[in-house]
Amino acid sequence: MRIRMIGQKGLPVSADSGGIERHVDELATRLAAMGHEVTCYVRPRYADARLTEYKGVKLQRAPSIPTRSLDALTHSFTATLSALVRPADVIHYHGVGPATLAWIPRLFKPKAKVVVTFHSLDRQNAKWGFFARQYLRFGEWAATRFPHATIAVSRSIKRYCKEKLFKDVEYVPNGATPKPHPGSDLLARWGLKPGGYILTVARLVRPKGIHHLVQAFDGFEDRVKLVIVGSGDAHSDYAEELKALSEGNSAIVFTGFQDGKTLEQLYANAYLYAHPSEAEGLSISILEAMSAGRTVLVSDIPENMESIDHSGLTFVNADVEDLRAKLRELLNHPEIVAERGERARTWIRQEYDWDVIARKTADLYARLMRK
């Protein structure tokens, strides 16, 4: 099949990437390895102009108006126009914003099958103003009405579509793949030792709730470090706010964006993984920590509770005191941390394997083609 993906910023994953880019990276490269012709549209400022292919995936640049409000939408529009005049069996939009344009190929390229992946309730992000939130609310409706099929990456989103948007959609989650232990030699650059730090990995934006974790990390400085992996949003001062909040605490380490073997080592050698997000789709970071055999401590929003099943622990969302108490309990009981970590790895193998997810997505495409 000839598959065109629209909505991601760029590939490969970079410091500017979020959950959608990581999802598309894992999915598109596997579909290409299965023999499908996959093209991903990328925004010029998020892509290396010299790179036209990545792990068998064709990369095609499409221009945009590079402002916070117009970047994603205008890029999705120019990518859609490109997809109309090029061979395509499947046009796959990622995100509810780009989904507002899914009617265009339905109308002007009727032989192509149109798919939308509903990744998260984007309008809950505090960075959006009133009109942007209303547009994203429209995008939620569009994501369930314009395409031939809609994919929800979590059961919580699937339930939201059924109860609030009155539409039954497909469930195909995000994923992770357990790997052999990658060693620990790259940790020395930050003065880290295996089992000697609590880890969180996220884009440094307010909905991820990292400020709650920084505030809760009080009184543990002599026992462990807190390692925060990720970079900030170009349109936000939140990353600098976090660093100011951490000032004077040398046990809090900011590594910036990391990927590849370095990120694998950070996951694999953490004492535990904490994820205090206030809003999510289905966090790939949580899944990757679990695939590395780490116990996860997450805020009790439905999307996080779904991902951990009974293999992790929760704290009350945005409650710094409860988060501090749970951190203290886990630091005092390493036997719980060890047992839950092994349980987490098993759960990922059973429910969130990327190879299985790619096959399910390809099967969905094939069913649509047969119709």
For 16-56, write each residue's pLDDT tens digit.
Answer: 888 899 999 999 999 999 999 999 999 998 888 889 999 99
Q: Which CA distances in Å does 153 have to 141, 188, 283, 356?
A: 16, 36, 10, 14
The confidence score (pLDDT) of residue 126 equals 65
d(C-alpha 69, C-alpha 22), whole Å: 22
- Reported as a pLDDT band with limits 50, 70 and 90, residue 98 is very high
| Mean pLDDT within 188-209 | 96
- Residue 116: enclosing H or E segment and its boundaries? strand 113-118
- Cβ proximity of 126 and 207 under 8 Å: yes
Q: Which CA distances in Å does 233 have to 79, 172, 238, 257?
A: 23, 28, 8, 12
The confidence score (pLDDT) of residue 160 equals 95
What is the percent of the chain with per-residue pLDDT over 90, rounded to a whole number? Answer: 85
The confidence score (pLDDT) of residue 209 equals 96
d(C-alpha 18, C-alpha 284), whole Å: 10
The confidence score (pLDDT) of residue 69 equals 78
The confidence score (pLDDT) of residue 178 equals 87
The confidence score (pLDDT) of residue 240 equals 94
Domains and CATH numbers, the chain: 2-175+353-370 (3.40.50.2000), 185-351 (3.40.50.2000)
The confidence score (pLDDT) of residue 47 equals 85
The confidence score (pLDDT) of residue 96 equals 96
Q: Is the peptide bond before 12 cis (omega within 30 degrees of 0)?
A: yes
- Residue 297: enclosing H or E segment and its boundaries? strand 296-299
- Cβ proximity of 250 and 226 under 8 Å: no
The amino acid at residue 65 is I
Mean pLDDT of the chain: 94
- Reported as a pLDDT band with limits 50, 70 and 90, residue 262 is very high
What is the percent of the chain with per-residue pLDDT over 70, rounded to a whole number? Answer: 99
Q: What is the pLDDT of residues 308-360, one digit of tens each?
A: 988 899 999 999 999 999 999 999 999 999 999 999 999 999 999 999 999 99
Question: In this model, does residue 68 exceed pLDDT 80?
Answer: no
Q: Specify the pTM.
A: 0.91
Q: Which of 55, 54, 93 is nearest to 76 (CA)?
A: 93
β-strand 113-118 against 90-94: which pairing, if any?
Answer: parallel
- Cβ proximity of 91 and 114 under 8 Å: yes
